Amino acid sequence: MKNGDIVLSIIDGMANIKKFFLDKEHGQAILMSESTKEFPPIYIHEDDDFMINGKVVQVIKTPKF
C-alpha cells in the first residue's frame, strides 16, 4: 500500500473503506474518511486487531443499465 490508496480494512471485525496513510515517524497507520460527513481519522497501532483486505480500484455509486 502507498499513501493515499483507498483500502478495504477490517478493524476489530468491522469492515470499512478509508484512505490509507502510513506515519513512519510514529509507527502507525492512519485511515481517513473521504465521506461528505465529518469523521475523525482512525489511528491503527501495532497491537490493534487490524487487517487490510484489499485496495479499492473503482467505486460505482449508481448502476448504469
pLDDT value for 57: 93
Q: Is residue 38 part of a domain?
A: yes
Number of structural domains (the chain) is: 1
Q: Is residue 62 part of a domain?
A: no
Q: Is residue 42 part of a domain?
A: yes
10: domain range? 6-55
The dihedral sign for the CA sequence 13, 14, 15, 19:
negative
Q: What is the mean pLDDT of the chain?
A: 89
The dihedral sign for the CA sequence 21, 1, 18, 9:
negative
Would you say 5 and 20 are in contact if contact means Cβ atoms under 8 Å apart?
yes
Q: pTM to 2 decimals?
A: 0.79
Q: Is residue 1 part of a domain?
A: no
For the chain, residues with pLDDT lower than 70 are: none
Phi, psi of 64 (to 5 degrees): -105, 125
pLDDT value for 38: 83
